[in-house]
Amino acid sequence: MNIVFSVFQQTMFFTIPLLIVALGGMFSERSGIINIALEGIMIMGAFVSILFINRTQGVLSGQTQLILAVVIAAIAGMLFSLFHAFASINMKADQTISGTALNLFAPAFAIFVARILQGVQQIQFTNTFRIESVPVLGNIPIIGDLFFKNTYITTYIGILILILSTIVLYKTKFGLRLRACGEHPQAADSVGINVYKMQYAGVLISGAFAGIGGLVFVIPTSTNFNATVAGYGFLALAVLIFGQWHPVRILFASFFFGLMKTIAASYSGIPVLASLGVPSYIYKMVPYVTTLVVLVFTSKNSQAPRAEGIPYDKGAR
């Protein structure tokens, strides 16, 4: 059972950042803007927040420092996503090119600034954020071992984001208007909805979630940041498509891909897999091969709310 608990905990470390970032991409695409800049926004959010942790060690520590870092990551992600929003919405630029530009800029900027500030590109930090056992809840049989031991507060933040995203998207006027702007912007405009504002809101929410996702990815898996999130932004796009732009389906898709990443990273600690004698590079290929297979079988039956990614032109009614 200890192996099962360990694998599940590791899976959650990979699942939560995928979930948060994919939900961010969902808000952007639901508004009618394709955001493939998730990778770059993750890098920028992780860079600014990890730099904050590095500079405040000794002054702040524990959960307070991590929560502040989450807020800073969200702000950094929102500010960086404004470039994509302005280019796509105001300038009517190609959304794929705009997103690619941000993806190329973010790691270069992170490395450049890190070297200026400290001479090396790796930003070190001390991980003081792991929760060995949540009081009371950690003592619950099975559930306590799965969800409330060897965990991080970011796991619960991710679950909260999922719940709030579902409520906002399907139970509020804002969510209805956001979906209307993505599915038929001319109709939304005809009833007085400001399409541009709703699209900006979608992209900014996407940026906030992607920034948080960058931090959430780095914290449990490393003690330094090296201007990369290992392609998680692109993997989140695959999760978004596999989850068909629906929050609950995105959760299951995130868990599936998180499990594949866990197998790739921790196969040597799973006796059944370790005894097979399969070369290590095969296991490391699993998440990416799975991504290709899943996309092949799901993309034909999956349609984005506004898949064309054509900028809304108010004068084209």
Domains in the chain: boundaries: 2-298
pLDDT at 66: 94
pLDDT-above-70 percentage for the chain? 94
Instruction: Render pLDDT for 67-119 as a digit per residue (tens, 0 to 9).
Output: 999 999 999 999 999 999 999 999 999 999 999 999 999 999 999 999 999 88
> What is the CATH code of the structural domain delimited by 2-298?
1.10.3470
For the stretch 284-289, contacts whose Cβ atoms lie closer than 8 Å and that sit 24 or more positions apart, written own/partner, are 286/260, 287/235, 287/257, 287/260, 287/261
Cα–Cα distance for residue pair 80/60, rounded to 1 Å: 26
**Rounded-to-integer distance, Cα 80 and Cα 106, Å:** 9
For 132, phi then psi, to 5°, come to -65, -40
Residue 308 has a pLDDT of: 47
Q: How confident is the model at residue 297 (pLDDT cuts 50, 70, 90)?
A: confident
168-204, pLDDT tens digit by residue? 999 999 999 999 999 999 999 999 999 999 999 999 9
Place of tokens 């702040």: 60
| Amino acid occupying residue 311 | P
